[in-house]
Chain A
Amino acid sequence: MIQCKTSKAIGGMGHSMKRKEDARFIQGKGHYVDDIKLEGMLYMDIVRSPYAYAKIKNIDISEAMKVPGVAAVVTGKDLEKYNLHWMPTLMSDTQMVLPTDTVMYQSQEVAAVIATSRYAARDGREAVKVEYEPMKPLMDPYKAMDPSSPVLRTDKKDKKDNHIWHWEVGDKNKTEEVFKNAEVVVEQDMYIPRIHVASIETCGCVADYDKINNHLTMYMTTQAPHAIRTVIALVAGHVGLTEEKIRVVSPDIGGGFGGKVPVYPGYVIAIAVSFLVGKPVKWIEDRSENLQADSFARDYHIKVEMAGTKAGKIQATRFKVLADHGYTDAAANPSKFPTGMFSIGTGSYDYDTTFMEADAVYTNKPPGGVAYRCSFRVTEAVHAIERITDRFALELGRDPADLRFQNFIKKEDFPWKSPTGWSYDSGDYHAGLKKAMEAIDYEGLRKEQIQKRAEGKLMGIGISTFTEIVGAGPSKDFDILGIKMFDSAEIRVHPTGKAIARFGTKSQGQGHETTYAQIVAEVLGIPAENIQVEEGDTDTAPYGLGTYASRSTPTAGAAAAVAAKKLVDKARKIAAHLLEVSEDDLEWEPGKFWVKGAPEKSKSIQEIVFAAYTNFPQGLEAGFEATHYYDPPNLTFPSGAYICVVDIDKETGHITVRRFVAIDDCGHIINPMIVQGQVHGGLTQGIAPAMYEELIYDEEGNMLNGTFMDYLVPTAVESPSWETGHTVTPSPHHPIGAKGVGESPTVGAPPAIANAIVDALSPYGIKHLDIPITPFKVWKALKEKGVI
Chain B
Amino acid sequence: MKINVTVNGTAHEADIEPRTLLVHFIRENLNLTGTHIGCDTSHCGACTILLDGQSVKSCTILAVQANDKTIQTIEGMAANGLHPLQEGFHENHGLHCGYCTPGMIMRASELLANNPNPTEDEIRWGISGNLCRCTGYNNIVKSIQYASAKMRGETPASTEPQFV
Contact = CB atoms under 8 A, between A and B. Distances in A.
B95 A119 contact: no
B34 A27 contact: yes
Nearest to A286: B40
A716 B128 contact: yes
B interface SS class: loop
Contact of B97 (A34, A35, A254): A254
B40 A287 contact: yes
B98 A26 contact: yes
A35 B139 CA distance: 27
A25 B98 contact: yes
A707 B100 CA distance: 17
Given A28-B73, A119-B19, A713 B164 contact: no
A682 B139 CA distance: 13
A681 B33 contact: no
Contacts of B129: 715
A33 to B, nearest CB: 11
A674 B96 CA distance: 9
Interface in B49-97: 73-75, 77-78, 82, 86, 89-91, 93, 95-97
Given A27-B86, A201-B99, A724 B123 contact: no
A254 B39 CA distance: 13
B8 to A, nearest CB: 10
A782 to B, nearest CB: 28
Nearest to B120: A721
A677 B93 contact: yes
Contact of A200 (B34, B131, B141, B163): B131
Nearest to A252: B98
B99 A255 contact: yes
A119 B19 CA distance: 9
A713 B135 CA distance: 13
Contact of A255 (B43, B75, B133, B137): B133
A25 B95 contact: yes
Given A16-B161, A201-B38, A510-B96, A28 B102 contact: yes
B7 interface: no
B38 A30 contact: no
Contacts of B160: 16, 673
A783 B133 CA distance: 34
Interface in A673-694: 673-674, 676-685
B99 A677 contact: no
Contacts of B78: 27
Interface centre among B39, B127, B160 (most CB of A within 10 A): B39
A724 B164 contact: yes
Given A28-B74, A680-B136, A681-B135, A716 B127 contact: yes
B41 interface: yes
Contacts of B133: 197-200, 255, 257, 681, 685, 713
A29 interface: yes
B82 A684 contact: no
3 residue pairs, one from A and one from B, having the closest CB atoms? A28-B34, A25-B98, A509-B97
